[in-house]
């Protein structure tokens, strides 16, 4: 092969390189979008190899002694929420968002104490301390971080709720709550009752 063949690009190489350059601005558009402090883009995460294999059906017996009023299991490692109905006829599995850090992650047993369609939102005192620029109150609607429905837990400030920011699902992206797609929280909302037991692992 002659030396000149390395120096002179082929027509195919030229076209491929030009296409790559033309496509570059399109990749940057998401970063150039206006920044919303209440909906920051999720931080890049290393690949979670176990996530796909861990997102599987589970049996309720290892986690609960009964299914009175139903049961919800949140697996923060696989980022999945499981629901079993009291009559054993319904089982649901939903992808979820989980807290940003282990420090923000609470594990253990709690229960649903309140159900709200169109929840309003206020930052907790610790959130406000970390982010003083955040508003004190956001009414129900498309800007609300709790999405369309919320299940309030017996732990203060903790909820299972929807989100309008679908980028968060499947990621470490919350300040402590468990997030679902709005269509999934609406589905779960119809099954869960006040008194439904909840376990976060």
Q: Which residues are catalytic?
A: 161, 177
User: What does the alpha-carbon distance between residue 97 and residue 85 come to, in Å, rounded to a whole number?
Assistant: 22
Measured at the CA of 126, the angle between CA 120 and CA 129, to 5 degrees, comes to 105
Question: Taking phi first (over 0 means left), then psi (-120 to 50 degrees means alpha), and beta for anything else, what does residue 181 get?
Answer: beta
User: What does the alpha-carbon distance between residue 159 and residue 188 come to, in Å, rounded to a whole number?
Assistant: 13
The token pair at 67 is 């299914």
The token pair at 163 is 């989100």
Q: Which helix (H) or strand (E) holds 90?
A: none
């Amino acid at each position: 092969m002659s030396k000149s063949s390395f120096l002179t690009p082929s027509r195919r190489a030229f076209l491929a390189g030009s296409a790559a350059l033309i496509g570059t601005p399109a990749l940057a558009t998401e970063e150039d979008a206006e920044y919303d402090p209440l909906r920051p883009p999720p931080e890049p995460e290393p690949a979670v190899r176990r996530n796909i294999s861990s997102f599987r059906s589970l049996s309720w017996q290892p986690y609960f002694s009964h299914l009175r009023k139903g049961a919800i299991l949140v697996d923060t490692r696989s980022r999945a929420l499981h629901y079993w109905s009291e009559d054993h006829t319904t089982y649901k599995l939903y992808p979820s968002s989980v807290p940003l850090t282990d420090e923000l992650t609470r594990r253990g047993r709690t229960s649903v104490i309140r159900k709200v369609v169109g929840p309003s939102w206020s930052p907790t005192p610790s959130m406000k301390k970390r982010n003083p620029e955040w508003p004190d109150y956001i009414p129900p609607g498309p800007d609300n971080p709790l999405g369309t429905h919320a299940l309030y837990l017996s732990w203060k400030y903790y909820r299972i709720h929807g989100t309008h920011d679908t980028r968060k699902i499947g990621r470490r992206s919350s300040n402590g709550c468990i997030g679902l797609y709005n269509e999934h929280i609406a589905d779960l909302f119809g099954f869960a009752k006040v008194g439904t037991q909840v376990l976060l692992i």
